[in-house]
Structure formats: C-alpha cells, structure tokens
C-alpha cells in the first residue's frame, strides 16, 4: 500500500540531483497544498535536491503537476492514510502502514532518501521512526534537537532533547551532549562547540541528583567528544552567548521551547499593537519597515523550523504542524544541509567511537588481569 514503486518517477533528467529528501505531504495543519508549495520553494533555491513525496497519489499528482519544473524532480508515493494530531503513538506503530508518514520514514529505511521531513504528530513520528529506523547501536534514548535564535555569532544555539522522551537519565544526558555537539559541528559549522547542562543554577551543588551524575559523566567525555563542557547553565543561557549546545531532558526541553516561542510571539504582538496605536506610530512603522522586517526575520520561528531526530539509523526532520510554505521550505533546507554534510554517518561514527572508549577501560582491565593471570 505504501509504495507504488520507482515507476512513479516523473523522470530524473533535471541535472545532478545529488540529495533525495523524503517528504510526508500529509498530517500538517495546512494540508498538502502548503507542503507542495514549500517543496517548490526549496526546489527553486536548490537545484541539487530531488524529492519523494508521500500522500494520496491523485491529489499530489494534481498539486505537483501544476508546477512543471517541480514535476520533473518529484517521485510520488501513494499512501491513503493520514496520521492525525490526535492519534496515539502506540496505535500508530501498530496500524499506520498505509499512511504517508510511515511511507516517508520507510524511504529513508530503504535507502532511497537520505532524510525524511514531516509536519505531522511529533509523538507518532518519533515512535514510527524508532520502530522503522531503529536506534543507533549504543543509543538508549533518541532526542529531538532544535535550533534557537541566540546572541552567538552563528545566530543559533542547539537545544536537546526538545520532547522525544519525557525522561532522561545521566547516561542519556551524556549521549545528548555528544549528539548535540556533533549536530552543532555539522549544522552550525562550529569546530569545538561549548556544551552546557540545563539546571536551576550554575553552582555545582544545585539541582536534581541525576544532573549531578550527568555532570560527572559529561566532564571527562568532553575531550574525546571534541566539545568544551562549561558545566551547568540556566534558562537565560539558552539564547545567550555562553554556550552553543544546551542539554536537558525532553520534558524540560519541551516546556522551555514552548515558553520561549510563546514569549517571542507575545512580545511581537505587543509590538504590533504599539505601532497600531496612533497615526504617528503608524507612520513611524512605515519608516521603520525595513528594520522591523529584519527583526521579524531574526525571531521568526519559521526560519528555524525543524526539530532533528538524533540517535536513529537515519535522519528525520520534524517541521512545525502549523508551518506554512516558508516553514516547510526551511525544514527541507535543514534536511538538505544535513544530508549534504554527511551528518548521519559522522554522528554514527561519533557514537560508535564513544562506545568503544567506554568499553576500553574494561577491556584494558580484562587483558591486564589476563596477563596477571598468565604471570601468576
């Protein structure tokens, strides 16, 4: 049901299309027309992307067929079913074989596409991705990493976990530090990212017991993980210049993310109201238009649209459910960058290396005791 095969391809003669992105056209708040419009925006900017688009074939054929330049770069994969925002993840992994979301993830599983993008139900997408792609060997809890506008020169910080799992034990937080650093290296071009552990204060005696444990695990791992560990950081550092990567559990990360988005939106709305207040201020708004647009662009959540699932055998990008064409295009751009940089293989290599290093002391101990045994 999920695939109608490569035969659906509307030809690939559009030049050197190096990267294939798998896009779930359904499940977002704004329907497939918006997703296709986002694909078109991306296609226009990046001639090197090809797409596999998943959803009801007839509708997709109509939407994509309207855009001649796009049709040549899209494979359509028919899927009748749609995962809705209200579907429970536990149900979805049992019975969503016919959905566009399942099909989109399976394109990555099959190696046809490098990254999958979906605007659908986060919990369901994570559950499906875990089931179909499986966790990387050595990863206990995958995480969702988000980019956050910041005062740093690179313009963004990385926050993880933004909500893949409501729990994280100390070893999970160590893995988040490693994976977050890898993401910052490949996604933000930082050679040696600074990593901090989110807490209610920067002093070492503060916070929950598992955070002190995590602190003691992350500190000695920084050297081999090629990051700098700055210790505990606070909520005010998420958008600050003290760190590049902020590590926390998915419960706290999700609350922080939504609080930050809500606050930015509130201030933006208050700003609009302030400028609509008088004739003078309306006139001022016209004069300041360029500056205000630049501000809007800096804090526009659509520009940093895309939570990246880390710790799986394949990369999945979760776009905002309410994303418009610009938002979808931003999520695809992120997917493209990660695919081009070979991010997934680098991350997997880093995790594998960390596993070897964690094992090595034991092996060393074992072989040394073997030697001792031979000597005695």
Residue 351: partners with Cβ closer than 8 Å, 6 or more residues away? 136, 137, 138, 139, 175, 178, 179, 311
The first and second tokens of residue 300, run together, are 């526009």
Q: Please report whether residue 142 would count as binding its own copies according to CB under 8 A.
A: no
Shortest distance, position 208 Cβ to its own copies, whole Å: 6
Residue 156 C-beta: closest distance to its own copies, Å: 12
User: Per CB under 8 A, does 208 bind its own copies?
Assistant: yes
Interface with its own copies, residue 255, by CB under 8 A: yes
170 binds its own copies (CB under 8 A): no
Helix (H, G, I), strand (E, B) or coil at 291: helix
Which residues are CB-neighbours of 285 under 8 A, at least 6 positions away?
Answer: 275, 276, 292
- Establish if 213 lies at the interface with its own copies (CB under 8 A): no
Segment interacting with its own copies (CB under 8 A) among 250-258, 332-340, 341-349, 364-372: 250-258
If one asks whether residue 285 binds its own copies (CB under 8 A), the answer comes out as yes
Piece in contact with its own copies (CB under 8 A), picked from 108-116, 275-283, 333-341, 344-352: 275-283
DSSP string, 1-13: -----GGG-----
**Which phi and psi (to 5°) does residue 276 adopt?**
-90, 5
Nearer to its own copies, 173 or 238 (CB): 238
Q: Is 294 in the site for its own copies (CB under 8 A)?
A: yes
Match 């706290």 to its residue by tokens: 252
Residue 153 interacts with its own copies (CB under 8 A)? no
State both tokens at 296: 């809007």
Query: Toward its own copies, which CB reaches closer, 108 or 238?
Result: 238
Using CB under 8 A as the binding rule, whether residue 271 contacts its own copies is answered as: yes
Check binding of 62 to its own copies (CB under 8 A). Answer: no
| Angle, alpha carbons 249-120-133 (nearest 5°) | 65
What's the full length of the chain, in residues?
Answer: 376
Nearest Cα to 77, choosing from 95, 64, 92?
Answer: 64
Pick the binder of its own copies from 298, 363, 366, 367 (CB under 8 A).
Answer: 298
Report the candidate in 50, 361, 27, 372 with the shortest Cα–Cα distance to residue 224.
361
Which residue among 100, 186, 254, 337 contacts its own copies (CB under 8 A)?
A: 254
Among 205, 361, 362, 374, binds its own copies (CB under 8 A): 205
Alpha-carbon distance 301 to 298, whole Å?
Answer: 9
252: phi then psi, degrees, rounded to nearest 5: -60, -40
Enumerate binding residues for its own copies (CB under 8 A).
86, 88, 123, 149-151, 163, 166-167, 198, 200-201, 203, 205-208, 234-240, 248, 250-252, 254-271, 273-275, 277-278, 280-281, 283-288, 290-292, 294-295, 298-299
């Amino acid at each position: 049901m999920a695939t109608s095969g490569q035969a659906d391809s509307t030809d690939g003669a559009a030049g050197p299309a190096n990267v294939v992105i798998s896009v779930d056209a359904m499940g977002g708040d704004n329907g497939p027309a918006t997703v296709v419009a986002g694909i078109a925006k991306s296609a226009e900017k990046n001639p090197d992307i090809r797409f596999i688009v998943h959803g009801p074939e007839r509708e997709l054929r109509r939407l994509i067929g309207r855009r001649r330049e796009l049709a040549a770069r899209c494979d359509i994969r028919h899927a009748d079913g749609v995962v809705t925002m209200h579907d429970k993840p536990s149900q979805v992994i049992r019975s969503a074989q016919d959905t566009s979301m399942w099909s989109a993830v399976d394109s990555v599983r099959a190696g046809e596409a490098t990254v999958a993008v979906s605007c659908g139900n986060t919990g369901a997408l994570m559950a499906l991705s875990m089931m179909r792609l499986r966790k990387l060997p050595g990863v206990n809890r995958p995480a969702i990493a988000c980019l956050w506008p910041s005062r740093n020169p690179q313009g963004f910080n990385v926050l993880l976990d933004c909500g893949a799992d409501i729990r994280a034990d100390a070893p999970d937080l160590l893995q988040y530090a490693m994976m977050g650093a890898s993401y910052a290296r490949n996604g933000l071009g930082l050679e040696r990212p600074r990593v901090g552990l989110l807490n209610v204060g920067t002093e070492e005696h503060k916070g929950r017991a598992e955070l002190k444990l995590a602190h003691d695990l992350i500190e000695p791992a920084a050297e081999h993980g090629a990051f700098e560990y700055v210790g505990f950081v606070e909520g005010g550092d998420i958008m600050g210049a003290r760190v590049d990567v902020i590590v926390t559990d998915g419960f706290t990360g999700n609350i922080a993310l939504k609080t930050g988005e809500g606050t930015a939106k509130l201030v933006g709305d208050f700003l609009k109201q302030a400028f609509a207040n008088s004739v003078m201020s309306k006139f001022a708004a016209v004069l300041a238009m360029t500056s205000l647009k630049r501000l809007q662009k800096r804090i526009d959540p659509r520009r940093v649209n895309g939570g990246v699932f880390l710790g799986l055998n394949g990369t999945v990008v979760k776009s905002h459910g309410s994303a418009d064409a610009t938002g979808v295009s931003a999520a695809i751009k992120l997917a493209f960058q990660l695919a081009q940089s070979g991010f997934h293989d680098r991350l997997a290599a880093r995790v594998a290396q960390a596993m070897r290093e964690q094992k090595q002391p034991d092996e060393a101990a074992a072989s040394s005791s073997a030697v001792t045994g031979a000597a005695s």
